Amino acid sequence: MRSIRTISIALLAIIAISTAHAQSLPGGFVYLRDIDPTIIQDIRYATPNNFVGRPLAGYGAGECVVKREVGLRLKAVQQELATQNLSLKMFDCYRPARASLDMVRWSQNGHETAADRRYNPKIPKTELFRLGYIASRSQHSTGAALDLTLVDLKADNSARIDPSRSYADCTAPVAARLPEGSVDMGTGYDCTDEKGHTAAPSISPDQRAWRRRLVAAMARQGFVNYSKEWWHFSLPGAGGAAYDFPIQPRRN
The full set of domains in the chain, from first to last, is 29-234 (3.30.1380.10)
- The 10 Å Cβ neighbour count of residue 179 is 16
Separation between Cα atoms, residue 122 and residue 100, nearest integer Å:
22
CB 26 within 8 A of CB 214: no
CA angle centred on 139, ends 213 and 33, rounded to 5°: 65
Name which residue leads in pLDDT, 4 or 25. Answer: 25
Q: Collapsing DSSP states into helix, strand and coil, what is residue 29?
A: strand
Residue 232 is assigned to a ligand binding site: yes
pLDDT in tens, 137-153: 899 999 999 999 999 99
Q: Collapsing DSSP states into helix, strand and coil, what is residue 224?
A: strand
Residue 147 is assigned to a ligand binding site: yes
In the residue annotation, 80 being an active-site residue is answered as no
Residue 140 is assigned to a ligand binding site: yes
What is the mean pLDDT of the segment spanning 209-237?
Answer: 97
Average of per-residue pLDDT values in the chain:
89
Choice among 112, 180, 194, 229 that is catalytic: 229
> What pTM was computed for the model?
0.89
Write down the pLDDT at residue 241: 92
Could you say which DSSP state residue 223 is in? -
Q: Collapsing DSSP states into helix, strand and coil, what is residue 143?
A: coil
